[in-house]
Amino acid sequence: MNRSNVHHFDLPDEILLIILNKLNNIDVLYSLLDINDGRLNVLAQENTFTNILKFVSIDDTSLIDRFCIDILPRIHRNVKCFIFDPIFMERILLATDYPNLTELEIHHFHEEIALNYFANKSSLRSIFQEKITNLILINNDESAMTCSSNYTAKIYAHILTFFKNLKILRIIKPSAVSHPPLSICYLPSTTFSSSIFTHLYINVQYFNDCLCLLDGRLKQLTTLFVTVYCTFKSSRIIDNMNKLPNLKCFSLQIFCEFQPYDKIASLLRRMSTLEKLTLNISIKDRNNVIDGTYVQHDIFDCMPEDIQQTLTNIGLQDVTSIVNYVCDSRVACSIFSLPFQFDYLKDLGNKFPNIVFSYVKYLHVKDNDPFRHEFFVRIARSFPLLKYLRIYNVRSSLPVDLMTFSSGNCQLYSIIEYPHLTTLDLSYAHREYVEQFLNETKI
């Protein structure tokens, strides 16, 4: 065959499917269905191509009209997951029957969505209660405007009650601004409970809320990813030493500076069948600095021997720490497991390990000493997906480091690039850092 005569329609179905799967399937379905090519028509309705449909940030009502009237009724048996904005949710879900639908991801979720649609009077009640086992909410409610315990009772606890077959729940923040965290330590023990629930990814108000999640109310829980926000010392004592035989995967991130460090060791000792563990914790009020070796001895070596062996076999003994003198009277100490699997890191100073933080999108840097140009070079290399950067440093850098170069001068520094950075917070930074980030010969 002459190369100049080869057309992409001459490619095998397997190759065409690989190409189509690299594209937005909503656009492909809208463009290819009903064109005068029966082969592409069939490929566009392939099961692997239509099992996840994403309707997010769409303002073309004619596209939604055609999908609901013409396309969805033809591929409805293939659909397993919808990703959409609430504005389209009701129309899409009622367009036809979806016998294999089990997962929903709702963007721009807020309290009114739950009150309108997660209710007995809702037109979507049967779909939510009978079909959905996996629910992801990109929560846009602002925590500053909400009482966490009231929000928990009204929204989070209600979700577990309303979705009769729910097994997996992820509550995700859309940006560095947090949504209302779960707060159950002062609510009845039956609040936020389920006998079939297995996976939970959520933010909580206090560490005691994390302990409450593991007090037996979620008997079948196998995976818990939890982020703790506040340091509030609860007057309620939670001293549950029961084993957690079903918990296989545990991830703990504590944003605040955490004092009762021994409680973490006590909690981990209850996880007798743990297979995966990730930690990111800031420690305060210790007489000695905690490093990776200390964590090894203080946590892992105090766990039952069989668990130690399990963790060693899967490589979870690798723990490191960052010690940063953020001011004259305060040291910030963070301990975390490797590889670092969190999207947020705070109190990073001039000295940090030579690690690529592949998942971090939100970073706070703070130090008592000035940040030099080389520091920002390392930040760009070590945080390739960085979207949000906050600089806390009121100390002026040396003039030679922040001098402005004219076009005729020699370029002393390589230009730093942050390809994903969308938010830069310099509210607590010396003005020279503003000049540095606005200097195109530098960053």
Say how far apart CA 412 and CA 430 lie, in whole Å: 22
- Higher-pLDDT residue of 291 and 132 is 132
Does pLDDT of 201 surpass 80?
A: yes
pLDDT score, position 25 = 75
pLDDT score, position 346 = 85
- The residues, ordered by sequence, that sit 6+ positions from 118 with a Cβ below 8 Å of its Cβ are 128, 158, 159, 162, 163
CA separation, residue 17 to residues 21, 26, 30, 35 (Å): 6, 14, 16, 17
Q: Give the residue ranges of DSSP H helices in 269-395.
A: 292-298, 305-313, 373-382
Report the candidate in 343, 345, 348, 347 with the shortest Cα–Cα distance to residue 360. Answer: 343
Average pLDDT for the chain: 81
3-state SS assignment for residue 242: coil
Q: What is the pTM of this model?
A: 0.80
pLDDT score, position 407 = 42
What torsion do the CA atoms of 256, 257, 263, 269 make, to the nearest 10 degrees? 80
Q: Could you report the per-residue pLDDT of 358-386, keeping only the tens digit for each? A: 999 999 999 888 998 889 999 999 999 99
Does pLDDT of 425 surpass 60?
A: yes
Q: Could you report the per-residue pLDDT of 148-186, keeping only the tens digit for each? A: 899 999 999 999 999 999 999 999 987 766 789 999 998
Indicate the range of 11-15, 64-68, 113-117 predicted with least confidence: 11-15
Phi, psi angles (nearest 5°) of residue 305: -60, -40
Say how far apart CA 286 and CA 331 lie, in whole Å: 10
Does pLDDT of 347 surpass 60?
A: yes
